[in-house]
A and B are shown apart, each in its own frame.
Chain A
Amino acid sequence: DAGITQSPRHKVTETGTPVTLRCHQTENHRYMYWYRQDPGHGLRLIHYSYGVKDTDKGEVSDGYSVSRSKTEDFLLTLESATSSQTSVYFCAISESSPKSGGAGKTQYFGPGTRLLVL
């Protein structure tokens, strides 16, 4: 358990409205990530953060912005939601894992937020 919570867990919204999803972690991890999961695509990285106020884009960042004003919180904002952003969103942190076969960092995921944009 990497101490990751996401809120809300479920949300229904209308096209054109802003939406903010929150990821909260309790263990002071430096790296945090936002992914979306869609059928046929696996998990795709939206944005990530490598420290407070330090963020960068992933492979599907269009239409999304992020903010990290403190270590424990990483916010994902859809400025104007579209139906194509209907998805399940996962937050993750990374840390070294004793189960890795050699050196390596592992990402651990939160429970997810299911977002429906009508």
Chain B
Amino acid sequence: DQQVKQNSPSLSVQEGRISILNCDYTNSMFDYFLWYKKYPAEGPTFLISISSIKDKNEDGRFTVFLNKSAKHLSLHIVPSQPGDSAVYFCAASANFGNEKLTFGTGTRLTIIP
């Protein structure tokens, strides 16, 4: 039972354009959501998170949107840069991160120069 789903295994975007990565969840107890970026042979790096009390959180080029009614969140990267090429994982937790994280299967983003 996949409680966190990333339905796009891969995504290619032209440099300078917007990258949009999507994530859906099924567990209504989840109230804290995170995005991680992973390069080959490295550990996942925390990018940005959002709690259910908000519907948007922004940090530089990265913005996460949360639609609680649709149980959907998305990560927007604007503008996309070659260094953004990586695998992106969505994760969710209950109790504002005090419970275990459940991860999606990841989306491989490739930025085309």
For B48, the chain A residues whose CB sits under 8 A away are 99, 101
The answer to whether the Cβ of A103 comes within 8 Å of any Cβ in the partner chain is: yes
Task: Please report whether the interface of chain B is mostly helix, strand, loop or mixed according to DSSP.
Answer: strand
Question: Smallest distance from the beta carbon of B99 to chain A beta carbons, Å?
Answer: 10
C-beta contact mask, A83-106 vs B, less than 8 Å → 1, else 0?
000000010001001011111111
Report if B54 contacts A (CB, 8 A): yes
Which one of B43, B98, B101 has the highest number of Cβ atoms from chain A below 10 Å of its Cβ?
A: B43
A101-B100 contact, Cβ under 8 Å, with A43-B89, A109-B43: no
Residues of B contacting A110 in the complex (Cβ-Cβ under 8 angstroms) = 43
With beta carbons under 8 angstroms apart, the residue of B41, B44, B96 that contacts A43 is B44
Interface residues of A (CB under 8 A from B): 4, 40-45, 48, 58, 90, 94, 97, 99-112, 114
Task: Pull 29 A–B residue pairs with CB atoms less than 8 Å apart, ordered by A.
Answer: A4-B43, A40-B105, A42-B4, A42-B6, A42-B104, A45-B100, A45-B101, A90-B43, A90-B44, A97-B49, A99-B46, A99-B48, A100-B32, A100-B49, A100-B50, A100-B97, A101-B48, A101-B57, A102-B51, A103-B53, A103-B97, A104-B49, A105-B98, A106-B46, A106-B97, A107-B101, A109-B44, A109-B45, A114-B41
